[in-house]
Amino acid sequence: MRRLALTAAALAALVLPLLGAAATRPTVYAAASLTEVFPRISASPRYSFAGSDQLALQIRQGAPADVYAAASPKYTELLYRDGFVQKPVVFATNKLIVLVPGSNPADIRTVYDLRRTGIKLVIGDKTVPIGTYTRQILDTLGITADVMKNVVSQETDVKGIVAKVALGEADAGLVYVTDAKPVASRTKSIAFPGWAQPPIRYELALVKASAHPAAARVFIKQVTSRRGRLLLARAGFGLPKRTK
């Protein structure tokens, strides 16, 4: 009996730490446009989805994040420069579209229709990636001034834009192509000319102050794994070339 008890105790000493490690849930701060796809890749983390700029600020202020994923390299690279995260990796790309309600009451057919008087347009605030990309593509097309006069709201994340268009509170919104999929039954998508698309790259990084670095690394590997890339592609994201 004594031998059995010692054996059981030894097994418990080996198994319990492993169970504890498996039960560790990393906290992932991620861009709002990743709201649907990240939980499909892994249901384990605690997620906080918001504008990339807001999340970067929270990390600078000491928020308990383990992984940071942004819709623009700007925020991850600045955090890396200032010592808040480890070296970021690119894990996905995206494209912009014009999203309109399913009934399309303003009869918008191309991006150039956004110049018409009376159009109610929703875009991202200039401080968030979707807002930055929006202004870049409008500048490239040479229609910034005419389109911006029709802006009725500037949202702090892309989900705010999608919601207003899907609810019919706006005639159009500029969003990522991936954001159109969850609301496809209530909206229509209008493509931009390919030559005008700005490069949109998503990066993620391990937060240096992470309380769960091992679990954070597991999540990053899940995102960049073959399965993670397949799920990203199914969600409409583009994929960077894999590095050896």
Strand order in the sheet with 172-176: 151-155, 121-124, 172-176, 96-101, 187-191
Residue 188 sits in the same domain as residue 109: yes
CB of 210 within 8 A of CB of 36?
A: no
Pairwise CA distance, residues 70 & 142, whole Å: 28
| Domains contained in the chain, number | 2
The three-state secondary structure class of 76 is helix
Q: What is the pLDDT of residue 15?
A: 41
What are 53-63's pLDDT values in tens digits?
Answer: 999 999 999 99
Q: Which amino acid is at 240?
A: P
Please name the residues in contact with 204: beta carbons below 8 A apart, sequence gap of 6 or more: 30, 67, 68, 69, 70, 76, 88, 89, 91, 220, 223
Residue 75 sits in the same domain as residue 6: yes
Q: Is the pLDDT of residue 184 over 70?
A: yes
Assigned domain for 239 exists = no
pTM for the complete prediction?
0.86
User: Range of 148's domain?
Assistant: 96-196
Assigned domain for 243 exists = no
The three-state secondary structure class of 14 is helix
Band (12; pLDDT cuts 50, 70, 90): very low
Q: Is the pLDDT of residue 9 over 90?
A: no
Q: Is the pLDDT of residue 41 over 80?
A: yes
Assigned domain for 146 exists = yes
Residue 86 sits in the same domain as residue 206: yes
Residue 71 sits in the same domain as residue 100: no
Assigned domain for 240 exists = no
Q: What is the DSSP letter of 207?
A: B
Residue 184 sits in the same domain as residue 151: yes
Residue 19 sits in the same domain as residue 138: no
Assigned domain for 242 exists = no
What are 196-228's pLDDT values in tens digits?
Answer: 999 999 999 999 999 999 999 999 999 999 999
Assigned domain for 213 exists = yes
Q: What is the pLDDT of residue 93?
A: 97
Residue 117 sits in the same domain as residue 132: yes
10-14, 159-163, 186-190: least confidently modelled range: 10-14
**Phi, psi dihedrals of residue 112, rounded to the nearest 5°:** -70, -20
DSSP E strands in 27-178: the ranges are 27-31, 46-50, 67-70, 89-94, 96-101, 121-124, 151-155, 172-176
Residue 188 sits in the same domain as residue 210: no
CB of 73 within 8 A of CB of 132?
A: no
Q: What is the CATH number of the domain that holds 74?
A: 3.40.190.10
